[in-house]
Structure 1
Amino acid sequence: MKNLFLTFALVLTTLFSFAQDKSSTITVTIDNVTSDKGTVKLSLHTADTFMKGKGLMTAESEIKDGKITVTFENVESGDYAIIAFHDANSNDKMDFRDNGMPLESYGVSNNSMSFGPPNYDDAKFTVADKDLELNIRF
């Protein structure tokens, strides 16, 4: 009985040691920022958080020659969307005109740009078992 228990414990230990981490890395590049002033802020969202508040993960990058690259690590499998904006005046928020139009450049994953606010279904992408590289255009 003792040998059976030890064998079972060894099998379980071996199975758990071969279990793979199901998280991925998302690398985002934006290469058309209009100036190197300020920073670019990005946030990773699910359908529940998109355009409703803080994302699941956030990142910020300085701009070099109109380009930034940011990495989101340990992203679990699922559907997500990314929102990015150029905080040109470094006030930690997106600025708008009186009529509600943005004063600062922005973009979303899949580069879906329509009139009005971004739509999650147009911007969403799926994270599975491999790393992703995305390019967002402003």
Structure 2
Amino acid sequence: MIRIIPAFSFAASLVALAPLGAAAQELTVRVSGIAEARGEIGCALHASGASFPTGQAGARIVWIKATGSEVRCRFADVGAGSYAVAISHDLNGNRRTDTNFLGMPTEAWGVSNNVRPSLRAPRFEEARFETDGSAQTISVRIAK
């Protein structure tokens, strides 16, 4: 009986720890097309279309210095599900995508799936991608 208890305790601890590894995934967003190595790249991870692509409510946001033609934004502990990413290259330090009087962006931007409608903002459904509970890397190219 003494041998069974330690074996059972060890097995139970492995079962208890197993979900922790599966629930914690890292999503990496490889941002390319950065024309100027100045300012910051803002990466916003949206779990719904409520504020996508320019709103911040409910989004997880990461800011990275624009140090070259490519940067990587990392989001820890992203669970399995549907998401969309919006990227902005903030050149003037206001941490938003500036627009002209017509509402068209004047700073480089991009979204997941590299969707670029010409006369409207991208929709969440167009930029949506799925995660399956494992680490994942997606690529987004930004442009004006």
TM-score by length of structure 1 reads 0.83
Note the C-alpha offset of 1:90.
Answer: 1.3
Aligned residues: 133
- Contact residue 23 and residue 77 of structure 1 kept, 8 A: no
For structure 2, list consecutive stretches of 5 or more residues without a partner in the other structure. none
State the partner residue of 2:15.
15
Cα RMSD between the aligned structures?
A: 2.2
Is residue 128 of structure 1 aligned with residue 129 of structure 2? no
State the partner residue of 2:57.
54
4+ runs of 1 displaced by more than 6 Å?
A: none
Is residue 85 of structure 1 aligned with residue 83 of structure 2? no
Counting only pairs closer than 5 Å after superposition, residues 112-127 of structure 1 correspond to structure 2 as 112-115=115-118, 116-127=120-131
Amino acid at match of 1:96: T
Report SS of the residue matched to 1:85: strand
> Quick one: structure 1 residues 97 and 56, their matched pair in 2 at CA, closer, same or farther if it must change by over 3 Å?
closer
* In 2, Cα distance between equivalents of 1:125 and 1:27: 13
Amino acid at match of 2:139: N
- Contact residue 42 and residue 90 of structure 2 kept, 8 A: yes
- Contact residue 38 and residue 67 of structure 2 kept, 8 A: no
State the partner residue of 1:103.
106
Amino acid at match of 1:57: R
> Quick one: structure 1 residues 23 and 17, their matched pair in 2 at CA, closer, same or farther if it must change by over 3 Å?
closer
TM-score by length of structure 2 reads 0.80
* In 1, Cα distance between equivalents of 2:124 and 2:26: 20
State the partner residue of 2:78.
75
Note the C-alpha offset of 1:84.
Answer: 0.5
Identity, % of aligned pairs?
A: 23
- Contact residue 44 and residue 56 of structure 2 kept, 8 A: no
For structure 1, list consecutive stretches of 5 or more residues without a partner in the other structure. 1-5
Report SS of the residue matched to 1:34: coil
- Contact residue 22 and residue 134 of structure 2 kept, 8 A: no
